[in-house]
Amino acid sequence: MIATPFDFGPLLAPGLPPAAARWTGFPKYNFVGGHIDAEQIPIEELIAAATSVLGREGRTLATYGLESGPQGYLPLRAFLADKLKRYAAIACRPDDILITSGSLQGLDLVNALLLVRGDTVLVEEATYGGALSRIARSGVTAHGVALDGEGMRPDALAAALSALAQRGVRPKYLYTIPTVQNPTGTIMGEERRAELIKLTRAYGVPIVEDECYCDLIWSGRRPAAIYAMGNGSGVIHIGSFSKSIAPALRVGYMVADWAVLSRLLALKTDAGSGALEQMVLAEYCATHFSEHVRVLTAGLRRKLEALMEALNEQFGTAAEFADPPGGIYLWVTLPEAVDTDKLAPLALAAGVAINPGREWTADGALGKRRLRLCFAHPSAATIRSGIAELARVCHEAFGVPARIANVARER
Ligand SMILES: Cc1ncc(COP(=O)(O)O)c(C=O)c1O
């Protein structure tokens, strides 16, 4: 037995991200991450789907790629091609789709394809923290573009493109979450989508369209995808089953024209994404997807209402937010006195996990008094107790809200 531990330190590659912390379990009031509603996982139907698809095609697990090739399980791609056509107006074939290990792998592939240190990417001024951290880690500047109630503002985009061009900078891509934006929850209308296409085309900038939340709309209606409106050219479309079925499955997808998809495929060196997940999803979704999403979104809406009520009750006018048309997040603005970077660790010590706005904004100053709350996972009762606890901590640290509502907290 060798007693001294081996020291990997001198051997580590340069530029690594900081070491990960060990997982210590979920906090009592978990408003972070993109978890969905545990009660709404369709367990019985997934068991039935697994039994039927394995009984029928289980032997194809003997081959990498399930006899469907490297782009992913063909029946799943066929389901997606049909869904994208019906709901997002995208005319694509199964062969235009690449199944990925979550949409995060899609983002990694795009970055590997396009980014080099020193580049610039255009993003919504408040956007997905996982996209911002990846861009930063690549040594790339995320240039924020202002938002309004319909997403990225075309006038702000035009100004950003022109200012960057004057400095000789051609952004590598524009990253947008047009349908149920993360974190603000807005939906970009088709007119604005057309403007975005026109503006970016004029400057030779492709669009990366992240449609992670497009199924979670209360009205059930979504606009045509930017990919569809751009005729499938100059746009990379990314989607996921994480929010509509389950994030732990790790199944996402990309749509792009073959010139781009073939490059992305060459960068995907994992010999295929998990096969069982793809098989079970294809089997389940073929008959259950639409009804599942209808029930899921109704439940999410009820949780959102519980959250908005709790915020109104606990914070009164100190918490400002817009009622989003879908999704799993509420983007909350608190008074100037509050710094959510300081609030987050204090709240966590009291068992309440929140995402401070700084992590979700290209320019951290915009995020200082903002926070993102994910309402999909906790029950309505836990949401109410968690917000009461958050108000108590925030009151103690910042005097906001000025007074604490008198409600019993869950212990
Ligand atoms: C906008 C956006 N894109 C991508 C992801 C990653 O999702 P996936 O689980 O599909 O990797 C998330 C997760 O929350 C997200 O909010």
The ligand 1 atom nearest the CA atom of 250: 9
Binning pLDDT at 50, 70 and 90, where does residue 408 land? very low
CA distance 65 to 63: 6
- The pairing of beta strand 174-176 with beta strand 207-210: parallel
Q: Could you tell me the end-to-end alpha-carbon distance of the chain, in angstroms, rounded to an integer?
A: 48
Strand segments (E) across 179-291: 207-210, 235-240, 252-255
Ligand 1 pocket, mutate which of 123, 182, 236, 241 (most atoms under 8 A from CB): 182
Per DSSP, 121 falls in state: E
In Å, the largest CA–CA distance within the chain is 69
Dihedral, CA of residue 118, residue 124, residue 126 and residue 128, to nearest 10 = -70
The ligand 1 atom nearest the CA atom of 240: 10
Does 303 score more than 90 pLDDT?
Answer: yes
The whole-number average pLDDT for the span 222-247 is 97
CA distance 60 to 167: 54
Instruction: Calculate how far, in angstroms, residue 245's C-alpha sits from the geometric centre of ligand 1.
Output: 13
CA distance 383 to 24: 21
CA distance 3 to 157: 60
The ligand 1 atom nearest the CA atom of 34: 14
Ligand 1 pocket, mutate which of 240, 251, 329 (most atoms under 8 A from CB): 240
Does 36 score more than 70 pLDDT?
Answer: yes
Query: Of the candidates 120, 223, 128, which has an alpha carbon nearest to the alpha carbon of residue 176?
Result: 128
Instruction: Calculate how far, in angstroms, residue 242's C-alpha sits from the geometric centre of ligand 1.
Output: 7
Does 187 score more than 80 pLDDT?
Answer: yes
- Residue type at position 306: A
pLDDT given at position 129: 96
pTM: 0.96
Pocket (CB within 6 angstroms of ligand 1): 34, 102-104, 128, 130, 177, 182, 210, 212, 240, 242, 247, 252
Please give the structure tokens belonging to residue 203.
């400057």
Nearest CA to ligand 1 atom 12: 212
Kindly report the backbone phi and psi dihedral angles of residue 239, in degrees, each rounded to the nearest multiple of 5, phi listed first: -140, 180
* DSSP per-residue string spanning 157-203: HHHHHHHHHHTT---S-EEE--BS-TTT--B--HHHHHHHHHHHHHT
Please give the structure tokens belonging to residue 157.
């985009």
Angle at 239 between CA 238 and CA 243, to 5 degrees: 145
The ligand 1 atom nearest the CA atom of 252: 10
Contacts of 67 (CB under 8 A, 6+ apart): 60
Instruction: Calculate how far, in angstroms, residue 105's C-alpha sits from the geometric centre of ligand 1.
Output: 9
Instruction: Calculate how far, in angstroms, residue 195's C-alpha sits from the geometric centre of ligand 1.
Output: 25
Ligand 1 pocket, mutate which of 110, 242, 249, 360 (most atoms under 8 A from CB): 242
Q: Answer whether 89's CB lies under 8 Å from 111's CB.
A: no
- Residue type at position 77: R
Q: Answer whether 240's CB lies under 8 Å from 102's CB.
A: yes
Ligand 1 pocket, mutate which of 212, 214, 236, 331 (most atoms under 8 A from CB): 212
Instruction: Calculate how far, in angstroms, residue 227's C-alpha sits from the geometric centre of ligand 1.
Output: 18
18-22, 145-149, 368-372 — which is least confidently predicted? 18-22
Binning pLDDT at 50, 70 and 90, where does residue 410 land? very low
Nearest CA to ligand 1 atom 14: 34
CB atoms within 10 A of CB 322: 13
Instruction: Calculate how far, in angstroms, residue 258's C-alpha sits from the geometric centre of ligand 1.
Output: 24
Does 411 score more than 70 pLDDT?
Answer: no
CA distance 275 to 147: 39
Query: Considering just the CA atoms, what is the radius of gyration of the chain in Å?
Result: 22
CA distance 255 to 232: 8
Q: How far is CA 210 from the centre of its chain?
A: 8
Query: Of the candidates 280, 286, 240, 283, which has an alpha carbon nearest to the alpha carbon of residue 100?
Result: 240
Query: Of the candidates 327, 402, 330, 340, which has an alpha carbon nearest to the alpha carbon of residue 370?
Result: 340
Q: Residues 77-120: pLDDT tens digits?
A: 999 999 999 999 999 999 999 999 999 999 999 999 999 999 99
* Residue with the larger pLDDT of the pair 403 and 378: 378
